[in-house]
């Protein structure tokens, strides 16, 4: 029975985690038709070779780069279907095709895409196509393949008489390479327009509040309050978030020790912890049920009140305070009742393992 229930919960969690979120936008099909509706959310690694689209009157459709010319989000990027030769892959000479973010539009068009955590660039113009990549390294940081982007950009820049454009050092980033190509377009084709579409990755900032606790008995209980700013980068990671805020835990715990003669001494602690955490949280799924892990560091202040109970003697009391940097870690699960309101269960380590707590959370 327990195994069946666990299997059912696992199936439920994994199936709802596959839910896709949509954002308003449009697609242009290969035949030139334009469809307005809702696009699969702008998470770039997931829209490299396919895109889900829906409107109010038809079921979800999945388009490949062969079926679309381009698509765009109302509050996001413009993507086009492009073909190129991957000079990093020596095993094939066939052209690849994918959806890529358009960064610059003009005499030279600049595109970028993300594959397996790495960003690549494609430049198209004047009947030519260039595939740009950075150094390829192993786990020890040793360079296995030297990047070609710097030499490719210098070669293109040679067609412009502006010495500053040819000699400048360029970092391997979407922002700097987009600026370079836009300047190059304006230099070699001053009579035509060049548009830099680059936008900084948007940071989604929300505020989350949590109140929870647990009561086992008078010697084992806890109250937890938490408020944090939650920062996410939806285009780069749907599940990772940065948490900065305030955390309070008031906890009662007990322990015992036995001496050589078998006499038992009991200890009851009342701990009050205040901290300012800076931590990363990773949610494994994005459906109704979301297991997560959480870890980082915090500026922590703890006040500990201790009652010591000796055999057949009156208890003695002591108090102490500590302040410093503490490692923190937590694991738990969120049950999302609505888009903003959810139930959370969490087991946290901060100075020591705390009691697991259950409570309610809300995002603003």
**What DSSP letter does each residue of 202-242 carry, written as one string?**
PPEEEEEEEEEEEEEETTEEEEEEEEEEEEE-TTT-SSEEE
Amino acid 4: pLDDT: 44
- Count CA atoms within 13 Å of residue 202 on its CB side: 11
The first and second tokens of residue 224, run together, are 């937890």
| CA quadruple 42, 46, 48, 50: dihedral sign | negative
**pLDDT digit of tens for each residue in the chain (364 aa)?**
444 434 444 444 444 444 567 889 999 999 999 999 999 988 888 899 999 999 888 889 999 999 999 999 998 899 999 999 998 876 666 789 999 999 999 999 999 999 988 899 999 998 889 999 999 887 777 888 899 999 999 888 888 877 667 656 789 999 999 999 999 999 988 878 899 999 887 788 999 999 999 999 999 999 999 999 999 887 667 789 999 999 999 999 998 887 777 777 888 999 999 999 999 999 998 889 999 999 999 999 999 999 988 766 788 899 999 999 999 999 999 999 988 899 999 999 988 899 999 999 999 9
Domains in the chain with CATH codes = 17-196 (no CATH), 204-363 (2.40.160.20)
Strand partners, 23: 39
- Residue pair 66/30 in contact by the 8 Å Cβ criterion: yes
pTM for this structure?
0.67
- Residue pair 35/53 in contact by the 8 Å Cβ criterion: yes
CA distances from 128 to 105, 107, 108, 120, 131 (A): 15, 11, 9, 17, 10
């Amino acid at each position: 029975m327990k195994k069946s229930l666990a299997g059912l919960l696992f199936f439920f969690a994994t199936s709802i985690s596959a839910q896709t979120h949509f954002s308003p936008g449009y697609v242009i099909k290969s035949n030139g038709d334009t469809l307005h509706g809702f696009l699969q959310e702008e998470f770039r690694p997931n829209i490299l070779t396919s895109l889900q689209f829906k409107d109010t009157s038809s079921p979800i459709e999945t388009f490949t780069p062969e079926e679309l010319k381009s698509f765009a989000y109302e509050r996001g990027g413009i993507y086009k279907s492009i073909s190129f030769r991957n000079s990093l892959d020596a095993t094939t000479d066939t052209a690849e095709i994918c959806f890529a973010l358009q960064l610059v539009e003009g005499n030279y068009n600049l595109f970028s895409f993300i594959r397996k955590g790495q960003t690549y660039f494609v430049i198209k113009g004047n009947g030519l196509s260039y595939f740009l990549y950075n150094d390829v390294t192993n786990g020890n940081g040793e360079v296995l393949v030297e990047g070609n982007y710097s030499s490719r950009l210098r070669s293109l820049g040679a067609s412009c008489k502006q010495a500053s454009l040819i000699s400048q050092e360029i970092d391997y980033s979407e922002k700097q390479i987009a600026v370079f190509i836009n300047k190059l377009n304006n230099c070699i084709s001053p009579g035509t327009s060049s548009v830099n579409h680059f936008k900084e990755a948007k940071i989604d900032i929300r505020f989350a509040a949590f109140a929870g606790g647990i009561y086992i008995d008078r010697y084992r209980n806890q109250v937890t309050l938490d408020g944090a700013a939650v920062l996410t980068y939806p285009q780069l990671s749907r599940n990772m978030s940065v948490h900065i805020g305030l955390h309070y835990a008031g906890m009662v715990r007990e322990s015992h020790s036995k001496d050589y003669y078998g006499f038992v001494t009991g200890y009851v602690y009342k701990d009050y912890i205040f901290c300012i955490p800076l931590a990363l949280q990773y949610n494994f799924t994005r459906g109704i049920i979301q297991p997560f892990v959480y870890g980082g560091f915090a500026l922590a202040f703890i006040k500990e009140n201790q009652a010591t109970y000796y055999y057949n003697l009156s208890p003695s009391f002591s108090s102490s305070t500590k302040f410093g940097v503490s490692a923190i870690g937590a694991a738990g699960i969120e049950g999302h009742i609505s888009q903003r309101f959810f139930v959370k269960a969490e087991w946290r380590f901060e100075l020591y393992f705390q009691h697991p707590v259950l409570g309610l959370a809300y995002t603003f």
